Amino acid sequence: MSALLGKGEDALTYLGQLMSRFIQANTMYKESGPVIETPLSAAQSLHDMVCQSWGGTIRVFPALPAAWRELTVHDFRTQGAFLLSAVREEGRTRWVRVTSEAGAPCVVRHGIEGPIEVRDRHGRPLGHEEVADGTVRIGLRKGDSALITAEGDRPDLTIRPVAPNAAAPRWGLPV
């Protein structure tokens, strides 16, 4: 619920409590016996912190805690048959790419501060409509992509792993 309300700090606190107190090394949750629905709900909560797509809008990084200054998603599937890739660096969304698998207009709440540019896969300006502050509507045909960046920014579009914030216990059986 906290992630859906955009409260990333609260969502992280609740996830941390669940992980440290109840989730077992085999990813199961235990009350009177092992169950799977609670860990699946936790996974969905994590997804909702990173991306939400409901009501016809894709929301990029809608509920991230401040500690998650670096984050990368690649080909994250959203409602409407879109694939989302995006990078957050130093606490700011650097770029967002949306690829249409079905061919339909796309509404994206991108989270990039200030004026933006929307370009196609070849770097050419792509028509779009600003529907609200930080939200654009882009017409895409099947297989087309739109890259959203801050105006004048040409970020590195390489998808790479993000370093962890801190050490964490291993999951599963020892190797």
Span 61-120, pLDDT tens digits: 999 999 999 999 999 999 999 999 999 999 999 999 999 999 999 999 999 999 999 999
The pLDDT, as a whole number, for residue 67 is 92
Work out the mean pLDDT of the chain and round it to a whole number: 89
Q: Which residue(s) pair with 135 in the sheet?
A: 109, 132
At a CB cut-off of 8 Å and minimum separation 6, what does 106 contact? 58, 80, 82, 98, 100, 137, 138, 139, 140, 146
**Can you tell me the distance from the alpha carbon of 45 to that of 24, in angstroms, rounded to the nearest whole number?**
18
